[in-house]
Structure 1
Amino acid sequence: MTIVNFTPYSAFIGGIIIGLAVVIFFLFNGRLVGISGIAANALNQKERRIDNILFLVGLIIGPILYVLISNKEINISISNSLPLLIVAGLLVGIGTRISGGCTSGHGISGIGRFSLRSIIATITFMVVGILTVLIKNFV
């Protein structure tokens, strides 16, 4: 297995930007960032909070603005198997509910608060992700 697209500087800058976004969101809203919680509140809550909807819109508009400003292309490869995508989406949703949050909530907000539950959840996410990649490369 070889490392491709190793970009430590842009990854470091991206991490700083994500960290600042979490702090700014907390300062202005008094809530922690977790995509699954924000999406659930935006879609299920009786009183839809505008900040949740704006946050989700920003997730969609951000990459579009990046492509327009940087004049670079973002290459994404997703399976064209609809049944596989449905099963994967269901597994992600179930895993998010079982773990009490998603990778962004646990990995960014939770670890930043030194939450033991979030640290364990993030380690679990990482180990399973690494094992999945290793199994895929050996099969």
Structure 2
Amino acid sequence: MSNFTPWTSLAGGILIGLSATVLILMNGRVAGVSGIVGGLLVPRKGDVSWRLAFLAGLIGAPLVYALFLPLPEVRVAAGPAGLVAAGLLVGIGTRYGSGCTSGHGVCGVSRMSPRSLVATAAFMLAGFATVFVLRHLIA
């Protein structure tokens, strides 16, 4: 609880919700980052520019933030092998779940999509179980 930041978290949540809303209203697309990036791997005509703009916003937003306030310290409690394994597992889960946390968790849950509700519950439970195993059973 020493890093509890309700106002910053609320502002971030509002910005994520606003960006997801703008994307679906202006482009008719759900803001699922894995799908947006995946669409760049097999590009279709007229489908690349909005994807690049979305990703530029994801990368550019922290850079703009850093102009006004210092960026928070990033601490990763894992080695390179753990990070690679985690990235691969997330990628595999994203493919099996037909979407990622942003697509299912932010956009799908807000639309009360049954598939997204189940997917979000599944990845949250998997995350809880992973943290429990790594911190209490293995450590």
Q: Normalised by the size of structure 2, how large is the TM-score?
A: 0.88
Query: Is the 2:62–2:71 contact (alpha carbons within 8 Å) kept by the matching residues of 1?
Result: no
The equivalent position to 2:15 in structure 1, one of 14, 17, 20, is 17
The 5 Å alignment of 1:1-139 reads 3-47=1-45, 48-70=47-69, 72-78=70-76, 81-138=79-136, 139=139
- Residue type at the aligned position of 2:51: N
Structure 1 unpaired stretches of 5+: none
Counterpart-to-counterpart distance in 1, 2:119 and 2:4 = 26
Counterpart-to-counterpart distance in 1, 2:77 and 2:7 = 30
Query: Is the 1:106–1:118 contact (alpha carbons within 8 Å) kept by the matching residues of 2?
Result: yes
Counterpart-to-counterpart distance in 1, 2:129 and 2:67 = 36
Structure 2 unpaired stretches of 5+: none
Deviation at 1:79, TM superposition (A): 5.9
Counterpart-to-counterpart distance in 1, 2:109 and 2:6 = 21
**Count of aligned pairs between the two proteins:** 136
Deviations 1:110-136 (A, max 9, x none): 011100110111111111212222223
Detail structure 1 runs of 4+ shifted over 4 Å in the superposition: none
Counterpart-to-counterpart distance in 1, 2:126 and 2:2 = 21
- Residue type at the aligned position of 2:59: I
Query: Is the 1:19–1:108 contact (alpha carbons within 8 Å) kept by the matching residues of 2?
Result: yes
Query: Is the 2:65–2:71 contact (alpha carbons within 8 Å) kept by the matching residues of 1?
Result: no
Counterpart-to-counterpart distance in 2, 1:79 and 1:7 = 21
